[in-house]
Amino acid sequence: MQALLNVVILAAGKGTRMVSDRPKVLHRLAGKPMLRHVLDAAQQTKPATTCVVYGYGGSAVPDAINDPAVIWVNQEQQLGTGHALQQALPHLDTNGITLVLYGDVPLTRNETLNEMIELARDGALVLLTVELSPPDGYGRIVRGADGAVLRIVEHKDASAEERKIREINTGIMAIPGGHLARWLGQLRNDNTQGEYYLTDVICMAVQDAVPVLTCHPRHEWEILGINSKAQLAQLERLYQAQYAQRLLEQGVTLADPARIDVRGELICGKDVALDVNCVFEGRVELGDDVSVGANCVLRNVSVATGTRIEPFSLIDEAQLGADNRIGPFARIRPGTTLGDKVHIGNFVEIKNSQVDAGSKINHLSYIGDSTVGKNVNIGAGTITCNYDGANKHRTVIEDGAFIGSDTQLVAPVTVGRGATIGAGSTVTRDAPPEELTLSRPKQMTVSGWKRPQKIKK
């Protein structure tokens, strides 16, 4: 029977160099807190227990993550990594493997973590290490003549000779069961920082004849931590570059792989084309032959086959049918569903509405809280007046209706099947099907009227 797995994520630091009141681990990478990235990777390893040690910001961290699968432990005083793990100890199965991660190292792949865990199942203490040049600021891996790991020396405590070592400790380790509680109890803080270093357990493992093995990530960026806004920006671009590469390998056409931002999950069919500076947030699904023009933002959107989204369009929490033409400069807000072959043109805003197949709203209109049937034409400047100052009301426009330009439909109101609304009308009562409805004062001319003249100063 395999030993249970504990995952402990150390996330108590303030992050002074971030120059922010927000706890460091809550700063966002690719649209979500960096701690969420670590949790997502950790949870793919299927741990029996997941524990996050937090500190700075009090309850802000657990409140923001709001994950019931996590045990939250408050480290009121930040006295080092060893002290942080001591706080989590009462919640752990000390006979299980304990995987130690860091809330500010967000891009470690779960494949790397699984490799470490498998090595630890044979009773070894496993370190994630990498060779860096220069290795400044990192703890060095000190090996014996036979190549075996002897200890880790922190940069500030290292001698001049030790600082020449390029193999560095990432801090990520898998500790075998049965030793953790005893080793943590033996930690001392007699170092330049006056802290309890978790890395001191390496010497204890050597003394106890426990094998100390090293595992190396496939990519250097997997071990990069974030301590400043500059590093956050650097990892953001690394993340986006990796995501863009995966899209290219799937056959997606990217006008410029360096100018795309995916802040969630982007699922693409065949022959999808994405222009520059597009942002995809939440879960976005693009069907076959979909194209997205430059500078668009799509958030939690499903787009069916053949739809073309023109530049500068914002689409949020909506479902778009096949062969639509959207934009440019269109805004589609939450709760909107578009049927097939719908045209939504420039400077059109749609909110919480259903627009059925073949309908067109091509210019300068607001359609809110509405049900629009098939093959409806809505002229420029049309507004559904859905809000009476206290409550929202619905507008129904039935199949084949024609709405003339500059029309106000004062909800609740229904425009019947095949009805025509004359341009410039304000409609406050239901318009009957197959009839022309309009509301205009009689045109008149005021004789002798003159335009006001600008007064000379």
Q: What is the residue type of 3? A: A
CA–CA separation, 66 and 428 (whole Å): 47
Residues near 1 by beta carbon (within 8 Å), at least 6 away in sequence: none
Reduced to 3 states (helix: H, G, I; strand: E, B; else coil), residue 62 is: helix
Q: Is the peptide bond before 23 cis (omega within 30 degrees of 0)?
A: no
CA 55, 59, 60, 64 torsion: positive or negative?
positive
Q: Which residues pair with 29 in a beta bridge?
A: 32
Q: Is 219 a catalytic residue?
A: no
The tally of CA atoms less than 13 A away on the side-chain side of residue 149 is 28
CA–CA separation, 161 and 158 (whole Å): 8
CA–CA separation, 37 and 42 (whole Å): 9
Instruction: Determine contact, residues 37/57, Cβ cutoff 8 Å.
Output: no
**Token pair for residue 200?**
């001191």
> Nearest-CA neighbor of 125 among 210, 186, 198?
210
Helix axis angle for 34-43 and 110-120, nearest 10°, is 50
- Token look-up 């006008």 returns 255
CA–CA separation, 424 and 427 (whole Å): 10
Instruction: Determine contact, residues 348/361, Cβ cutoff 8 Å.
Output: yes
Q: Residue 451: count other Cβ atoms within 10 Å of its Cβ.
A: 5
Instruction: Determine contact, residues 5/47, Cβ cutoff 8 Å.
Output: yes
The DSSP-derived string for 396-437 is: EE-TT-EE-SS-EEESSEEEPTT-EE-TT-EE-SPBPTTSEE
Report how far apart the first and last C-alpha atoms of the chain are (Å, whole number).
95
- The residue annotated as part of the active site, out of 216, 219, 363, 393, is 363
Q: Which residues pair with 350 in a beta bridge?
A: 332, 367
Just list the catalytic residues. 363
